[in-house]
Amino acid sequence: MPEDIGYINARIRGMKSRLLREDKYAELLSKRKLSEFVESMKDTPYKDFLPPSYPEPSLQEIIEGVNAEALNSLGKIIKFSSGKSGRLLFSVLQRFTLSNIRAIIRGKMKKIPSDEIKESLFPIYPLDMPQIDELLRKETAFEVAELLITWRIKLPFPVTREILKVIRSEDLSETEYYLEKGYFEGTLNELGNSQDDRIILHVLKSWIDVRNIIGSLLLLKYNIKPAGKIKYIEGGYLSDRILKRISEATNLEEGLKVISVTPYKKIFSNGKTDISSFEKRFEESLTAWALEGFIKDPLSIAVPVAYIFSKYNELINLRIIIYGIDQEIPPQEIKKYLFQYERL
């Protein structure tokens, strides 16, 4: 076992005890004011990043606070990781960077106000908040791409003439396809055959499948046949035959029937048609798999991967609770949208 992953795992074990417990979520769900939420977080690592509870803090201040703590925690992994293990973990974290860039480009193409785009972002290395603010100030998606190029940071996708062409033309579906294709192909090509490589390979293959499945189901929800409307990313677990069958489905029921013979049948088998719930259950299942790997092999890269997923899900849960309190949504309704997973 390489020394670098042993050191990383030792550090992660010191961090995992700071993840929020189920009873803390129950406590937070009982709060009806944002100031009460802040007070309740004073016994957690978030206390140093949140605003004072008096006078009544704003929604933006609290969101920025929980974001900052999560970024600080995940940023530590980048700082103390090295060697091959560090590169593998960075490839996982680059998925968040890709999501940020995609969201900004999508927002610019759809003329969404910058403040609304910003709400969905998770500014992680190498794109920090000041850089994201610079990107959000640009008028067009192509100007965003140009600025990214001048920074010469490691992007999660290759910048090719083809991708610049589709961004300039503001073809959203083609742009998102090339961004994701570039990330997955580039990362998959860098993997070897070690146990840790195979763990990251499983994560990537699963992400590819859910991207292809969710993209198809979104079209089928509106009775749009995916064939000719979506380009599938290659490299996942689903065979070309299964993807072809999904693409030829004419409605959501047919699409779900095809998925029922795949390893993802449990995720999509509850009869609901809420696409966001599909994505949520997928993330929960991937987190559960990572946690299982953590238990079975505490000396592999599954340990930091499980922590990354758990920490990110924790952030999403906190943001859901915060928005729910701000909008005066009943606790039981908020709870329906929280990620459920076993603790590390």
Answer whether residue 340 is part of any domain. Answer: no
- pTM, two decimal places: 0.89
pLDDT at position 1:
40
Burial, 93: exposed, middle or buried (Cβ in 10 Å; 0-12, 13-18, 19+)? Answer: buried
Q: What is the CA radius of gyration of the chain?
A: 20
Q: Closest by alpha carbon to 334, among 175, 344, 342, 322?
A: 322
Residue numbers of the domain that contains 172 = 3-335
pLDDT at position 112:
95
pLDDT at position 36:
96
| Tens-digit pLDDT profile for residues 92-151 | 999 999 999 999 999 999 999 999 998 888 878 788 888 999 999 999 999 999 999 999
pLDDT at position 2:
45
pLDDT at position 270:
59
Cβ contact 244:190 at 8 Å: no
Whether the upstream peptide bond of residue 55 has omega within 30° of 0, thus cis, is: yes
pLDDT at position 219:
92
Cβ contact 314:19 at 8 Å: yes
Count of structural domains within the chain: 1
Q: Which residue has the tokens 């990107």?
A: 135
Answer whether residue 343 is part of any domain. Answer: no
Residues in CB range of 52: below 8 A, 6 or more apart: 38
| Tens-digit pLDDT profile for residues 185-204 | 999 999 999 999 999 999 99
Q: Closest by alpha carbon to 136, among 103, 163, 159?
A: 103
Cβ contact 171:105 at 8 Å: no
Sequence-ordered strand ranges (E) for the chain:
none
pLDDT at position 273:
59
Q: Structure tokens of 131?
A: 């850089």
Segments of the chain with pLDDT less than 70: 1-3, 269-275, 293-295, 341-344
pLDDT at position 295:
66
Answer whether residue 141 is part of any domain. Answer: yes
3-state secondary structure (DSSP) of residue 31 = coil
Residues recorded for the chain: 344
Q: Structure tokens of 284?
A: 């929960």
Residues in CB range of 113: below 8 A, 6 or more apart: none
